[in-house]
């Protein structure tokens, strides 16, 4: 019996030892597994840290790019503004750095300077003899009853959106001043010149329809003429205020302005919304869609002579085109009673366009 007990105890011991060993093994495995997990966690932590760092770097890179772009854009704007200022202030008027080089010549001398690649830049002075007031002659304000409106503010899209009745009332009155006016000798001379020189580029700064009615026959779209570029639009036409038929790269659709009563606003024939005049308002940009600006620039870049006729060079476009010709040392002929362009390869014909043009283009 004792022996049996002893044997049993030995078996039990043996079992316990084995259990212990197994237990230790499991323990070890658990430990190893834990160690591996810890290691994995550690690695993941590092990975996350790296991801965060990368994200942080990316974020700061984006911030840096943003800041760079902002700074770059401001710098470029300033640079362009300064170039613009120097062009306007130094290149048209003479100064200490740009001494006066313009000289007065006779019409006969001017005839020799005209080439096949000539631009005619026509201003409001051309229509003065037909009885249309230039912008300088117009009052700075429009008086209506007790109210006075500054034209600088009135001729803007902002004003048109804000007070369309007032805007259209003024427009109607202004348009009536341009009606039934007949072409003068200057307009006729340009028509004759174009007939002899079909390649001449004619850019009109005036919004009256006189030169257009003398020249224009072939329309590329209703209200846009092949023979003349009307950079500031034409007082005869209107468009939808919201350009409901607008298509990029295509000229905007224009309509005749109907006869309308006072305090009435003409409407878009397509969508019935308010209409707007087909004029470049003072707070608007020149676009290909409203005046074919790219085509004009492309054409005048090939020209070597510009004849500037009766303009006070008040608009950005007029100044820019003259400055381009000064920069490329091309020939500039200015016809004005009091010429303004003092620098560049510039020649003055002092006088009125209706007196000079018939002789110059004869």
* Interior angle at CA 38, CA 32 and CA 43, nearest 5: 125
Two tokens, residue 129: 């003899």
Whole-number minimum distance, CB 158 to Zn ion, in Å?
A: 20
Residue 58 interacting with Zn ion (CB under 5 A): no
Residue 30 interacting with Zn ion (CB under 5 A): no
Which residues 244-273 are close enough to bind Zn ion by CB under 5 A?
Answer: 244, 268, 270-271, 273
The verdict on whether residue 240 carries a ligand-binding annotation is yes
Identity of the residue, 268 or 332, whose beta carbon is nearer to Zn ion in the bound complex: 268
Stretch that binds Zn ion, among 28-36, 241-249, 253-261, 352-360 (CB under 5 A): 241-249
Q: How many Cα atoms are found within 13 Å in the side-chain-facing hemisphere of 114?
A: 21
DSSP summary character for residue 274:
B
Identity of the residue, 44 or 270, whose beta carbon is nearer to Zn ion in the bound complex: 270
Identity of the residue, 114 or 273, whose beta carbon is nearer to Zn ion in the bound complex: 273
The verdict on whether residue 268 carries a ligand-binding annotation is yes
The Cα 154–Cα 147 span in angstroms is 12
Identity of the residue, 157 or 191, whose beta carbon is nearer to Zn ion in the bound complex: 157
- Contact at 8 Å (CB) between 289 and 252? yes
The verdict on whether residue 244 carries a ligand-binding annotation is yes
Identity of the residue, 129 or 241, whose beta carbon is nearer to Zn ion in the bound complex: 241
Whole-number minimum distance, CB 98 to Zn ion, in Å?
A: 48
Which residues 268-297 are close enough to bind Zn ion by CB under 5 A?
Answer: 268, 270-271, 273
Q: How many CB atoms lie within 10 A of CB 323?
A: 22
212-219, Cβ contacts within 8 angstroms, sequence gap of 24 or more: 213/183, 214/183, 214/187, 214/188, 214/190, 215/190, 215/191
The verdict on whether residue 141 carries a ligand-binding annotation is no
| Burial class (CB within 10 angstroms; exposed 0-12, middle 13-18, buried 19+) of 303 | buried
Residue 240 interacting with Zn ion (CB under 5 A): yes
Positions touching Zn ion (CB under 5 A) are 240, 244, 268, 270-271, 273
- Residues of the binding site for Zn(2+): 240, 244, 268, 271
Q: Known binding site: residues?
A: 240, 244, 268, 271
């Amino acid at each position: 019996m004792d022996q049996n007990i002893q044997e049993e105890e030995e078996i039990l011991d043996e079992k316990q030892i084995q259990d212990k060993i197994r237990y230790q093994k499991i323990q070890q495995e658990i430990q190893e597994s834990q160690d591996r997990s810890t290691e994995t966690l550690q690695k993941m932590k590092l990975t996350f840290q790296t991801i965060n760092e990368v994200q942080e770097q990316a974020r700061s890179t984006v911030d840096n790019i943003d800041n760079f772009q902002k700074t770059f854009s401001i710098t470029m704007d300033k640079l362009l503004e300064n170039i613009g200022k120097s062009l306007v202030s130094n290149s048209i008027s003479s100064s200490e750095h740009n001494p006066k080089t313009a000289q007065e010549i006779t019409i006969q001398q001017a005839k020799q300077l005209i080439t096949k690649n000539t631009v005619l830049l026509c201003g409001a002075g051309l229509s003065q003899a037909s009885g249309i007031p230039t912008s300088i002659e117009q009052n700075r304000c429009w008086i209506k009853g007790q109210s006075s409106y500054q034209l600088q503010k009135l001729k803007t899209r902002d004003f048109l959106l804000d007070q369309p009745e007032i805007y259209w009332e003024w427009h109607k009155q202004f348009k009536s001043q341009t009606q039934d006016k007949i072409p003068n000798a200057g307009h006729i001379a340009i028509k004759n010149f174009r007939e002899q020189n079909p390649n001449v580029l004619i850019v009109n700064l005036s919004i009256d329809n006189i030169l257009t009615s003398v020249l224009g026959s072939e329309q590329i779209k209703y209200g846009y003429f092949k023979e003349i570029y009307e950079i500031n639009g034409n007082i005869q036409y209107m468009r939808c205020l919201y350009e409901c038929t607008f298509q990029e790269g295509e000229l905007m659709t224009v309509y005749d302005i109907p006869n309308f009563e006072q305090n009435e606003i003409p409407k878009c024939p397509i969508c019935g919304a308010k209409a707007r005049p087909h004029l470049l308002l003072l707070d608007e940009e020149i676009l290909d869609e409203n005046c074919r600006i790219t085509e004009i620039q492309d054409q005048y870049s090939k020209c070597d002579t510009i004849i500037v006729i009766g303009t006070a060079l008040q608009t950005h476009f007029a100044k820019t085109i003259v400055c381009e010709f000064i920069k490329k040392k091309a020939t500039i002929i200015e016809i004005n009673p009091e010429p303004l362009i003092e620098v560049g390869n510039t020649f003055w014909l002092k006088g009125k366009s209706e007196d000079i043009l018939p002789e110059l283009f004869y």
